[in-house]
Structure 1
Amino acid sequence: MVVMQQFMQLTNEVRNVILEDCLNRYEHGKKFDRKNYDDFNQVKAETLPLFEKIEKWEEEAQAIVHKIAIFPNQIQNTKDNLEIMILHSYFHDVRKKRFMELYQSVMYNLDLVINDEK
């Protein structure tokens, strides 16, 4: 039960912090230059803990996949889409329509997990 509570807390954090920060950064943040060494290092430093948290979420989700409302491929796709969104949010190298499709997909899967618990 404690494991499930910790997973749900992590899921809420991924949804309400990481995902929302991505959207906010994409819409209002600075556009970083991939070829600028300083920009690259700043993005790398800022994103490392995010990627680690997403990796942890994916591992925990796969470990309890039989208890949650999504399938293993949805877990993997959510992780992949979140990682892509993080990079797009810094570099602004995708159209808003595509970014929002990724956002909606990740939000949908995270909401499935969150709402299933209630």
Structure 2
Amino acid sequence: MTVLKKTEKLKAYLEILLETFETIKPPEDPKDQEFFANVKQETEMIYTLLDEWHQEILELMKEKKVQIYPHQLVATVENYEQIIVHSYYRDMRRRKYMEFYHSCNYIFNQVLQDLS
């Protein structure tokens, strides 16, 4: 899968995660093992995709094919990881969640623009 496709896929997952954040009822007990196992199973492929995307974007940055700064890439990966977790546990204010969401979307759009 190309970096372009991975970026598009991460953007699509971002929309799904936003919908999850807005609709899911968080567990009554945050230490609920069954809930954690379900979340882990649902998000494992997203984490894998994010890690692959991160590594490939690093290479494209070295080749100067993508015009983002290293700290932006690191922040995007960290923000996306926060979005994944907080989409299911809802222990973050919506405003902060949306800041992470818009930040990730901005970088994904920049990557898509640079690679098109």
TM (norm. structure 1) is 0.89
> Do residues 116 (structure 1) and 114 (structure 2) align?
yes
* Distance in 1 (alpha carbons) for counterparts of 2:105 and 2:22: 17
* Distance in 2 (alpha carbons) for counterparts of 1:40 and 1:94: 17
| Matched length | 113
Match among 75, 86, 90 for residue 88 of structure 1: 86
Overall identity of the aligned pairs, in %? 31
Superposition CA RMSD, Å: 1.4
Match among 55, 67, 70 for residue 69 of structure 1: 67
Deviation at 1:30, TM superposition (A): 3.0
4+ aligned runs moved over 6 Å, structure 1? none
1:28 corresponds to which residue?
Answer: 23
Secondary structure of 2:20 counterpart: helix
* Distance in 2 (alpha carbons) for counterparts of 1:53 and 1:29: 23
TM (norm. structure 2) is 0.90
Query: Partner letter of residue 49 of structure 2?
Result: K
